């Protein structure tokens, strides 16, 4: 199975261990844990590669040491980088993750400045690659431009809508109506007006929703609504004690795509994606806990909820 992931810019996560999460006016003690390559799309690419998919990243990187670190980490995970275009001065996205011993985290984003444009060579290259899934970590002009003409050649287009984008009044929800998988966490879903009583999650101006709207609910698990057949599915989360939840949503999305391509649907599919998300929370760093398919199967097989096998 072939997966392409749009990695718009390199991203570095700086981890700081804090004695407690600071509230306004508070002083807390911090210790630098390290700087790790991260970012939603690059995390997704690595998670999918660990699940056995042939993954190709496309996007931009610079010539600075942060860009080189990000590219090297993708290559070390067998993610193809020949479609990442190198342009000196490409801004690096930064995040600072404040983590305390209870596994709680706060994240400060330092967005890369400037507009992301498409490199003209990507369109042809993606057409030749013809990935089974093409994943965009955010939905914007580049995603819409690349997904539209190539849709017939790629089997599926997937994207994540982050809560900040979901809450923005100028986010164009209608442009998502032809996307196959839209991933939202609870916060993004509630910005969109989703509730358990309204699982289709479709804004009023969607003529027809994306093929599948997937809502992740942290420790509670996940659910999805399929607009093609009206099916809703849900699966509870796994009972784990999180060390660091950074990257859980990315691991979940990658596992959802890989297991969908492998033929899983409904609760068995969500259980495997939940297992990938739960395992991702078990280690420090955005990608350290990303699992193999075997580790996911072992967790699914071992889990019993209310005395019943999960799937
Ligand atoms: P995001 O990281 O995008 O905010 P979530 O926090 O909803 O997304 O996490 C994605 C998935 O990872 C969840 O649907 C769940 O399956 C799994 N997960 C996340 N946090 C936990 C947790 N504390 N315990 C068990 N599973 C978790």
pLDDT at 261 over 60: yes
In the predicted model, what is the mean pLDDT of residues 286-308? 86
pLDDT band at 166 (very low <50, low <70, confident <90, very high): confident
pLDDT at 92 over 90: yes
9 pocket-lining for ligand 1 (C-beta < 6 Å): no
pLDDT band at 209 (very low <50, low <70, confident <90, very high): low
Where is 99: in which H helix or E strand?
A: strand 93-99
pTM for the model: 0.93
260 pocket-lining for ligand 1 (C-beta < 6 Å): no
pLDDT band at 258 (very low <50, low <70, confident <90, very high): very high
| Comparison of pLDDT for 305 and 290, the residue scoring more | 290
217 pocket-lining for ligand 1 (C-beta < 6 Å): yes
Q: What is the pLDDT of residues 141-153, one digit of tens each?
A: 888 888 876 677 7
Query: Which atom of ligand 1 lies at the shortest distance from residue 217's CA?
Result: 7
183 pocket-lining for ligand 1 (C-beta < 6 Å): no
Nearest CA to ligand 1 atom 8: 249
| Comparison of pLDDT for 164 and 44, the residue scoring more | 44
Separation of CA 140 and ligand 1 centre (Å): 25
44 pocket-lining for ligand 1 (C-beta < 6 Å): no
| Comparison of pLDDT for 198 and 88, the residue scoring more | 88
245 pocket-lining for ligand 1 (C-beta < 6 Å): yes
Q: CA 103, CA 248: separation in Å to the nearest integer?
A: 13
Nearest to 146 by CA among 169, 162, 171, 129: 129
Are 22 and 72 in contact, with CB atoms under 8 Å apart? no
Q: CA 137, CA 163: separation in Å to the nearest integer?
A: 12
Q: CA 44, CA 255: separation in Å to the nearest integer?
A: 9
pLDDT at 52: 98
| Comparison of pLDDT for 117 and 81, the residue scoring more | 81
60 pocket-lining for ligand 1 (C-beta < 6 Å): no
Nearest CA to ligand 1 atom 7: 218
Q: CA 275, CA 259: separation in Å to the nearest integer?
A: 12
Q: For strands 80-86 and 54-61, give the pairing.
A: parallel
Helix axes 266-280, 248-261, angle to 10 degrees: 150
281 pocket-lining for ligand 1 (C-beta < 6 Å): yes
pLDDT at 310 over 70: no
Helix axes 293-302, 266-280, angle to 10 degrees: 110
Nearest to 9 by CA among 108, 96, 111: 111
Q: For strands 2-7 and 11-18, give the pairing.
A: unpaired
In the predicted model, what is the mean pLDDT of residues 265-271? 96
């Amino acid at each position: 199975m072939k997966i392409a992931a749009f990695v718009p810019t390199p991203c570095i996560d700086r981890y700081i261990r804090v004695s407690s999460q600071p509230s306004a006016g508070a002083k807390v003690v911090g210790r630098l844990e390290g700087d790790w390559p991260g970012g939603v799309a690059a995390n997704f690419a690595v998670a999918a590669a660990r699940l056995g998919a042939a993954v190709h990243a496309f996007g931009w990187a610079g010539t600075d040491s942060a860009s080189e670190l990000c590219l090297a980490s993708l290559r070390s995970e067998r993610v193809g980088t020949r479609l990442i275009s190198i342009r000196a001065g490409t801004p690096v996205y930064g995040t600072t993750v404040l983590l305390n011993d209870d596994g709680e985290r706060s994240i400060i984003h330092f967005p890369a400045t400037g507009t992301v444009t498409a490199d003209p060579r990507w369109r042809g290259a993606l057409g030749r690659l013809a990935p089974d899934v093409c994943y965009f970590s955010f939905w914007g002009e580049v995603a819409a431009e690349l997904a539209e003409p190539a849709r017939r050649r790629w089997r599926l287009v997937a994207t994540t809508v982050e809560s900040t984008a979901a809450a923005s009044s100028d986010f164009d929800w209608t442009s998502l109506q032809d996307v196959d998988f839209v991933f939202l966490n609870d916060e993004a879903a509630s910005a969109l007006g989703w509730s358990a009583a309204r699982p289709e999650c479709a804004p009023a101006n969607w003529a027809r929703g994306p093929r599948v709207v997937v809502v992740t609910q942290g420790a509670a698990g996940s659910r999805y609504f399929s607009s093609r057949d009206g099916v809703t599915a849900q699966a509870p989360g796994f009972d784990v004690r999180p060390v660091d939840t950074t990257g859980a949503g990315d691991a979940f999305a990658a596992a959802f795509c890989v297991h969908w391509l492998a033929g899983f649907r409904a609760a068995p599919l969500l259980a495997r994606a939940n297992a990938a998300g739960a395992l991702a929370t078990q280690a420090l760093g955005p990608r350290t806990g990303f699992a193999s398919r075997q580790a996911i199967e072992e967790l699914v097989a071992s889990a019993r909820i209310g005395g019943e096998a999960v799937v």
